[in-house]
Amino acid sequence: MSYLLTIDQGTTSSRAIIFAADFTEVASHQVEFQQFFPSNGWVEHDALEIWESVLITVRQALHKAHLSAEDITAIGITNQRETVVAWQRSTGKPIAPAIVWQDRRTESVCRRLREQNLGEGIKHKTGLVLDPYFSASKIQWLLENTSGARELMIEGDVLVGTMDSWLIWNLTGGEVHATDATNASRTQLFNIRKQCWDEELMTLFGVPEAILPDVYDSADDFGETDSSLFGHSIPIRGVAGDQQAALIGQRCWQSGDIKSTYGTGCFAMANTGSSIVYSEHQLLSTVAYRINGRTHYAIEGSIFMAGAVIQWLRDSLCIISSADECENLAAAVDIDHGVVMVPAFTGLGAPHWAADTRASISGMTRGTDKRHIASAALQSVAFQSADLFAAMRSDGVELKQLKVDGGMVNNSLFCQWLADVSELSIQRSGFTEATALGAAYLAALGAGIVNDLEALPQPKDVGDRFDPKVDPAIRETLLSRWHAAVSHELKRLDNS
């Protein structure tokens, strides 16, 4: 029997999942790692800690499944996007902490480029808005602010990449410096029309092509793992950024298919086929996947804080001890309780793209307690999602049913609220880790187990459906209150 192994490297944890030939889960293991917040708006990772977490998860998953590396046909990698690592070629050691996709330190760089009216040209080439979210300004910052970085670059002894490149480099023992088209499309250095690194953009951000990874298809030959890591080499045959992997795992392979993944952030993505759709509402145009040299595109809306809001309730406010407790608390109060949270802890993403906005909680009274805060936190994610879907509709994307996945959708109350405020039927995947499943699909393609996506087996569990049921008047009241709170924070930003 052949098995596939997915490495799912996320923002707060790494996970390894082993799939059988029918894509049912055999075993998994997950390890959390630290995030560091050294300054206001800064978010960092220790890339070596992440690499160690990946080694542990793979070894433990193999142990739990009673399998060896020889039993694994291929590895698929999916990863947090936009997070960047710079490391020394000769030693393999990072030259600085990894800068996480949530990090906002380069807002002044992006603002300066916007003031030079460069935004539209960059968007035309990359599909992306000028924002610290993307990798280019982060790489520029690392090269300009890390002691010795420029000297190492002149000596040809520094490499940079997103988290998939960092893992591929380490897994292959430094033999392969590569990324795939989906991850490359999130750097703001990659021309999604021409499917190559863009010379003008590399010059603009001061990033030479020599330090960037080669760009492969999403199902491709990314080399083999060093045999010393797991006892036997394993081919790496599929790579995609986490949201594109989820799109594939949710079987959104036709133009108009849409999914939304709720992990640390929320990412809604609709397949637009072979056409690049440019949004009039600050949504993103991006590569959905590239297979056999053929590129499929998508339109995407990104929310920075989704599951991270619940994590904040647990780790910073300490009003819950687990995510499950949040659902129970929120269910104990009426949906129309008046408390509104704007979770702009790292700014607001689409459709606002207001990097300097900060979080707030309004509408509190003396009777407000942790139940209302928990409810407002969950509702804030649903409200942000509703804004994304409204923007997609305005851009001409027809929405009928939304497929959702990610750890947060285990919360049935949240799924129902999402249906209520978005006025969409919500289909929750029977296997909520669609991101990992998509990477396994790509590995199967890259390894030649199947010849195309349509040959992949249908999932056995279709999951649960949630239809809108809230009174329309209540929906309008909730959304109006939410929009007023967001507008207040945006005006505060303008006046600051």
Asked if 264 and 163 sit in the same domain, the reply is no
Asked if 478 and 360 sit in the same domain, the reply is yes
Look at residue 441 and tell me if it is in a domain: no
Asked if 347 and 212 sit in the same domain, the reply is no
Non-local CB neighbours of 339 within 8 Å, separated by 6+ positions: 361, 362, 363, 364, 368, 372, 373, 375, 376
Look at residue 449 and tell me if it is in a domain: no
Asked if 225 and 319 sit in the same domain, the reply is no
Look at residue 203 and tell me if it is in a domain: yes
Eight-state DSSP code of residue 23? S
Residue 135 burial class via C-beta count within 10 angstroms: exposed 0-12, middle 13-18, buried 19 and up:
buried
Asked if 72 and 186 sit in the same domain, the reply is yes
Q: Average of pLDDT values for 137-150?
A: 92
**Cα–Cα distance between 477 and 379 in angstroms, integer?**
13
pLDDT of residue 356 exceeding 90: no
**Cα–Cα distance between 69 and 72 in angstroms, integer?**
5
Residue with tokens 């805060």: 373
**Cα–Cα distance between 340 and 461 in angstroms, integer?**
36
Handedness of CA 290, 291, 294, 298 (dihedral sign): negative
Amino acid of residue 223:
G
DSSP conformation letters of 427-495: EE-SSS-HHHHHHHHHHHHHTTSSSSGGGSPPPS---EEE---S-HHHHHHHHHHHHHHHHHHHHHHHH
E runs forming strands in 39-184: 44-45, 72-79, 84-88, 98-99, 158-162, 178-180
Torsion-angle region of residue 86: left (phi > 0), alpha (psi -120 to 50) or beta?
beta
**Cα–Cα distance between 131 and 143 in angstroms, integer?**
18
Q: Quick one: pLDDT band at residue 26, thresholds 50, 70, 90?
A: very high
Which of 462, 390, 467, 459 has its CA nearest to residue 424? 467
Coil, helix or strand at residue 271: strand
pLDDT of 1 reads 65
**Cα–Cα distance between 187 and 364 in angstroms, integer?**
40
Q: Average of pLDDT values for 13-35?
A: 93
Q: Quick one: pLDDT band at residue 294, thresholds 50, 70, 90?
A: very high
**Cα–Cα distance between 489 and 389 in angstroms, integer?**
21
pLDDT of 462 reads 65
Residue with tokens 């603002």: 111
Asked if 220 and 307 sit in the same domain, the reply is no
The domain tally of the chain equals: 2
Q: Quick one: pLDDT band at residue 365, thresholds 50, 70, 90?
A: very high
pLDDT of residue 495 exceeding 80: no
Residue with tokens 């910052």: 141
pLDDT per residue as tens digits for the range 466-492 = 999 999 999 999 999 999 999 998 888
Look at residue 358 and tell me if it is in a domain: yes
pLDDT per residue as tens digits for the range 250-270 = 888 888 788 888 888 888 998
**Domain boundaries, position 385:** 252-428+463-496
Mean pLDDT of the chain: 91
Asked if 193 and 305 sit in the same domain, the reply is no
pLDDT per residue as tens digits for the range 379-428 = 999 999 999 888 888 888 777 788 998 888 889 999 999 999 999 899 88
Q: How far is CA 463 from CA 23, 178, 260, 310, in A?
A: 16, 35, 15, 23
pLDDT of 490 reads 87
Look at residue 458 and tell me if it is in a domain: no
pLDDT of residue 350 exceeding 80: no
pLDDT of residue 141 exceeding 70: yes
Higher pLDDT, 191 or 101: 191
Look at residue 404 and tell me if it is in a domain: yes
Coil, helix or strand at residue 141: helix
Handedness of CA 116, 120, 122, 127 (dihedral sign): positive
Which of 126, 398, 391, 393 has its CA nearest to residue 281? 391
Look at residue 355 and tell me if it is in a domain: yes
pLDDT per residue as tens digits for the range 111-122 = 999 999 999 999
Q: Which of 212, 242, 272 is the last residue of a domain?
A: 242
Non-local CB neighbours of 295 within 8 Å, separated by 6+ positions: 181, 192, 195, 274, 287, 289
Q: Average of pLDDT values for 2-17?
A: 94
**Cα–Cα distance between 137 and 133 in angstroms, integer?**
9
pLDDT per residue as tens digits for the range 191-222 = 999 999 999 999 999 999 999 999 999 999 99
pLDDT of residue 447 exceeding 90: yes
Non-local CB neighbours of 49 within 8 Å, separated by 6+ positions: 33, 34
Asked if 313 and 171 sit in the same domain, the reply is no
E runs forming strands in 221-370: 236-241, 258-262, 266-273, 284-291, 294-303, 340-342, 360-362
pLDDT of 196 reads 97
pLDDT per residue as tens digits for the range 174-194 = 999 999 999 999 999 999 999
Asked if 167 and 32 sit in the same domain, the reply is yes
Give the phi and the psi of residue 203 in degrees, each rounded to 5. Answer: -65, -40
**Cα–Cα distance between 292 and 94 in angstroms, integer?**
33
Q: Average of pLDDT values for 335-340?
A: 93
Look at residue 451 and tell me if it is in a domain: no
**Cα–Cα distance between 470 and 18 in angstroms, integer?**
40
Q: Which of 208, 242, 276 is the last residue of a domain?
A: 242
pLDDT of 397 reads 79
pLDDT of 266 reads 87
Q: Which of 189, 217, 242 is the last residue of a domain?
A: 242
The CATH number of whichever domain residue 32 belongs to comes to 3.30.420.40
pLDDT of residue 154 exceeding 90: no
Which of 72, 77, 79, 76 has its CA nearest to residue 26? 72
On whether the CB atoms of residues 166 and 85 are closer than 8 A, the answer is yes
**Global pTM?**
0.83
**Cα–Cα distance between 419 and 427 in angstroms, integer?**
10
Buried b (16+ CB within 10 A) or exposed e, 25-46: bbbbbbbebebeeeeebbbbbb
Asked if 235 and 323 sit in the same domain, the reply is no
Which of 459, 441, 445 has its CA nearest to residue 24? 459
pLDDT of 461 reads 61
Asked if 233 and 305 sit in the same domain, the reply is no
Buried b (16+ CB within 10 A) or exposed e, 251-267: bbbebebbbbbbbbbbb
Q: Quick one: pLDDT band at residue 496, thresholds 50, 70, 90?
A: low
Asked if 366 and 236 sit in the same domain, the reply is no
